[in-house]
Amino acid sequence: MKKLVVLTGAGISAESGIPTFRDSGGLWEGFRVEDVASPEGWQRNPALVLDFYNQRRKKALEVKPNRGHEILAELERHFTVVVVTQNVDNLHERAGSTHVIHLHGSLFESRSTKDERLVYPIEGWELNPGDACEQGSQLRPNIVWFGEQVPLMEVAAMHAQEADLFLVVGTSLVVYPAAGLINYVRYDTPKYVIDPNLPEVANRKFLKMIEEKASTGMEKIRQELLDLQ
């Protein structure tokens, strides 16, 4: 089977009812990213940060995957699909995708503030002040914040290099290093970008831009992808 690698961003979850980030003026649900998605914000006010992610987690549990997520999952019948997502929700998994790399971490995991190797699943939607790891340190969301290393970038880049087909769905391509993933893809690999507000992409050879929402854009290119399998 050919390998289809897909980079997704907040836009693929928009039709499920999770707002994107750039579309709301650079704020994340009304909060400045410096306050809720940075190590400095965590130092200043951990209770605010925990509550912010509790609300995001609660919302993520209330919504459902949309056609965009579903079509990607269905494509596993025809391709070896690797989804590299910047999203912290779990809608790809709930739609049935089996190989999902969460570049920016997951809402549904916590990790120790003392030893980052100590990662735990979060049951339900709450992580609170006082919730501690086995060594007694406060737990934080296992999210990659602005200014932090992206540990899974290397493995994502390896998949991008191996891609026979590469698809970008719903990302403004402004957050690095994730936005640079397309640069690892072989030059002659067909590449598609689906976004109602197309991002700037250099080197447009073998690149097809589809100015659509994730659901309709995925419907449109599904047959074209199947013809290339």
Q: How far, in Å, CA of 100 to CA of 59, rounded?
A: 20
* Other Cβ atoms within 10 Å of 16 Cβ, number: 22
| Cα–Cα distance measured from residue 10 to residue 23, given in angstroms and rounded to the nearest whole number | 10
Q: Does 175 bind ligand NAD (CB under 6 A)?
A: yes
Contact with ligand NAD (CB under 6 A): which of 5, 6, 18, 182?
Answer: 18
Our answer to whether residue 102 is catalytic in this structure is no
207 bridge partner residues: 191
Residues in contact with ligand NAD, total (CB under 6 A)?
29
Among 69, 92, 104, 159, the one annotated catalytic: 104
Residue number with CB closer to ligand NAD (11 or 41): 11
Smallest separation, CB 90 to ligand NAD (Å): 9
Q: Which two tokens stand for residue 42?
A: 């965590």
Distance CA 138, CA 113 (A): 6
Q: What is the DSSP letter of 129?
A: T
* Kind and range of the H or E run holding 184: none
Going across the sheet that includes 207-210, the strands are 100-102, 80-85, 3-8, 165-169, 191-194, 207-210
Position of minimal CB gap to ligand NAD: 11
The whole-angstrom separation of Cα 52 and Cα 30 is: 10
Kindly state whether residue 170 participates in binding ligand NAD, applying the rule CB under 6 A: yes
Say whether residue 102 binds ligand NAD (CB under 6 A).
Answer: no
Q: According to the binding rule CB under 6 A, does residue 46 interact with ligand NAD?
A: no
C-beta of 112 vs 215, nearer to ligand NAD:
215
Does residue 55 interact with ligand NAD by CB under 6 A? no
* Minimum separation from the CB atom of position 130 to ligand NAD (A): 26
- Residues between 72 and 101 with contacts to ligand NAD, criterion CB under 6 A: 86-89
Residues in touch with ligand NAD (CB under 6 A): 9-15, 18, 20-23, 28, 86-89, 104, 170-172, 174-175, 195-197, 199, 213-214
List the catalytic residues.
104
